[in-house]
């Protein structure tokens, strides 16, 4: 490869460590601000430190490699800017868990649960659940504030930041809009595959993969040249990523997903997997879905009956086929793209990692 430096197989792992370091330093820098308000703020920051121990750091990775693939040089500035997306994701997770009433995240109690437990252990007055919800809403809000704060503290030139802003802004609005669509789909319960795919597009495909790549490219000053190529790779890959998430939400091993078995089924999530199963279900199978999907008390027997329907209708096989096809599309698009090495190789690896993962 005379035209590019060879890519180290440690590149992806190395970036994760650098992102982690930026997170730690940033949260450390907020300690004095919070302590200025009161020592009681400690538990909020602790909860965030714990939550941010985990995570695949996918959005920072796509932003960083989006920059590199557009010809940007490595530097702490772009790693810092990319890490801002991890704070944004932290808000999305914390608020999502409140909205879904999820108890577990990354193998730990979700933030609202954690603060409800704190309330109970301290024997405070009023509702522990209400206190936990309030703390989680506020911590998520702080993460949103910190997202653009960290982006702007990245050290990237003002001109680069100004170029990146429209992408950054549209990404944020699209995520919240996509999450509202998701709420709405659960409420309407219409459950067509087409409608479920629209939620996937905004809530995951654009937000997780395409927009971070776009952000990296625009920060690097090569948005117009790279936008289409990154969409051609990012949208199918982001969709496949979410389909994998949907499969893991039903069939995943709690030890690897960090969430209880059958979590999505208990929450009644209208994923594409469920929509496909329903579209193909016979009367008896549809009855099983109606009875168990969204039952807050759903146990092992209900989970296993729902899994059976999803397998027997062919919905699982269809999802796996679709994931393969989309991942193939993403890789083919990458192949024909102007993306520079070493980003090209890493993005190919990330495509596999994001869709073949077990947690």
Dist. CA 82–CA 102, nearest whole Å: 27
Dist. CA 167–CA 188, nearest whole Å: 31
Computed over its alpha carbons, how large is the radius of gyration of the chain? Answer: 21
Q: Does 101 help bind a copy of itself (rule: CB under 8 A)? A: yes
User: Quick one: which of 69, 178, 216, 252 contacts a copy of itself (CB under 8 A)?
Assistant: 178
Binding mask 205-244 for a copy of itself (x = CB under 8 A): ----------------------------------------
Tokens found for residue 134: 């309030």
Q: Does 269 help bind a copy of itself (rule: CB under 8 A)? A: no
Q: Which is nearer to a copy of itself, 48 or 354 (CB)?
A: 48
Q: Which is nearer to a copy of itself, 35 or 321 (CB)?
A: 35
Smallest distance from a copy of itself to CB 180, Å: 5
Element (H, E) at 105: strand 104-105
The number of helix segments (H) and strand segments (E) in the chain equals 17, 2
Contacting residues for 136 by C-beta, under 8 A, at least 6 apart: 94, 95, 97, 98, 110, 111, 112, 115
* Cα dihedral sign, 231-210-264-257: positive
Q: Which is nearer to a copy of itself, 179 or 355 (CB)?
A: 179
Paired residues of 104 in beta bridges: 109
Q: Which is nearer to a copy of itself, 55 or 178 (CB)?
A: 178
User: Quick one: which of 4, 17, 25, 33 contacts a copy of itself (CB under 8 A)?
Assistant: 33
Q: Does 119 help bind a copy of itself (rule: CB under 8 A)? A: yes
Q: Rule CB under 8 A: which of 56-95 touch a copy of itself?
A: 91, 95
For β-strands 104-105 and 108-109, DSSP reports them as antiparallel
Q: Which is nearer to a copy of itself, 16 or 165 (CB)?
A: 165
User: Quick one: which of 10, 187, 255, 297 contacts a copy of itself (CB under 8 A)?
Assistant: 187
Smallest distance from a copy of itself to CB 318, Å: 25
* 254 in Cβ contact with 242 (< 8 Å): no
Cα 62 from chain centroid (whole Å)? 12
Q: Pick the piece of the chain touching a copy of itself (CB under 8 A) from 52-60, 118-126, 248-256, 309-317.
A: 118-126
Q: Does 149 help bind a copy of itself (rule: CB under 8 A)? A: yes
Smallest distance from a copy of itself to CB 269, Å: 11
Contacting residues for 157 by C-beta, under 8 A, at least 6 apart: none
Q: Phi and psi of 108, rounded to 5°?
A: -120, 165
Q: Which is nearer to a copy of itself, 12 or 278 (CB)?
A: 278
Q: Does 124 help bind a copy of itself (rule: CB under 8 A)? A: yes
- Please state the length of the chain: 359
Helix or strand or coil: residue 108? strand
User: Quick one: which of 176, 193, 286, 331 contacts a copy of itself (CB under 8 A)?
Assistant: 176
User: Quick one: which of 7, 21, 165, 307 contacts a copy of itself (CB under 8 A)?
Assistant: 165
**How far is residue 329 from each of residues 102, 218, 237, 239, 344, measured CA to CA in Å?**
34, 24, 8, 11, 15
Contacting residues for 331 by C-beta, under 8 A, at least 6 apart: 233, 348, 351
Binding residues for a copy of itself, rule: CB under 8 A, are 30, 33-34, 36-38, 40-41, 44, 91, 95, 98-99, 101, 119, 122, 124-126, 130-131, 133-135, 137-142, 144-146, 148-149, 152, 158-159, 162, 165, 169-170, 172-174, 176-181, 183-184, 186-189, 198, 202, 268, 294
């Amino acid at each position: 490869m005379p035209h590019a430096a060879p890519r180290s197989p440690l590149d992806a792992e190395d970036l994760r460590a650098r992102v982690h370091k930026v997170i730690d330093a940033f949260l450390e820098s907020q300690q004095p601000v919070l302590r200025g308000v009161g020592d009681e703020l400690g538990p909020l920051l602790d909860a965030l430190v714990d939550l941010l121990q985990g995570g695949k750091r996918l959005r920072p990775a796509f932003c960083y490699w989006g920059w590199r693939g557009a010809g940007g040089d490595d530097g702490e500035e772009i790693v810092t800017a990319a890490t801002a997306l991890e704070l944004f994701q932290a808000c999305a997770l914390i608020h999502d868990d409140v909205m879904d009433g999820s108890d577990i995240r990354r193998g730990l109690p979700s933030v609202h649960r954690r603060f409800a437990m704190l309330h109970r252990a301290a024997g405070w007055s009023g509702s522990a659940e209400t206190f936990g919800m309030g703390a989680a809403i506020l911590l998520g809000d702080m993460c949103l504030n910190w997202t653009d704060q960290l982006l702007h503290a990245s050290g990237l030139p003002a001109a680069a930041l100004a170029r990146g802003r429209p992408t950054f802004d549209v990404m944020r609005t699209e995520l919240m809009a996509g999450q509202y669509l998701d709420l709405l789909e659960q409420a309407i319960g219409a459950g067509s595959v087409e409608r479920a795919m629209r939620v996937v597009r905004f809530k995951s495909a654009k937000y997780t993969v395409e927009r971070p790549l776009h952000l990296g490219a625009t920060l690097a000053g090569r948005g117009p040249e790279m936008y289409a190529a990154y969409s051609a790779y990012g949208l199918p890959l982001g969709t496949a990523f979410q389909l994998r998430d949907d499969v893991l939400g039903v069939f995943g091993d709690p030890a690897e997903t960090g969430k209880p078995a059958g979590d999505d089924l208990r929450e009644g999530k209208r994923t594409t997997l469920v929509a496909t199963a329903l579209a193909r279900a016979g009367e008896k199978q549809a009855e099983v879905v109606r009875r168990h999907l969204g039952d807050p008390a759903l146990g092992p027997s209900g989970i296993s009956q729902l899994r059976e329907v999803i397998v027997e209708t062919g919905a699982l096989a269809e999802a796996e086929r679709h994931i393969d096809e989309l991942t193939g599309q993403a890789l083919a698009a990458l192949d024909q793209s102007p993306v520079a090495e070493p980003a090209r190789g890493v993005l190919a690896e990330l495509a596999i990692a994001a869709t073949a993962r077990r947690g």
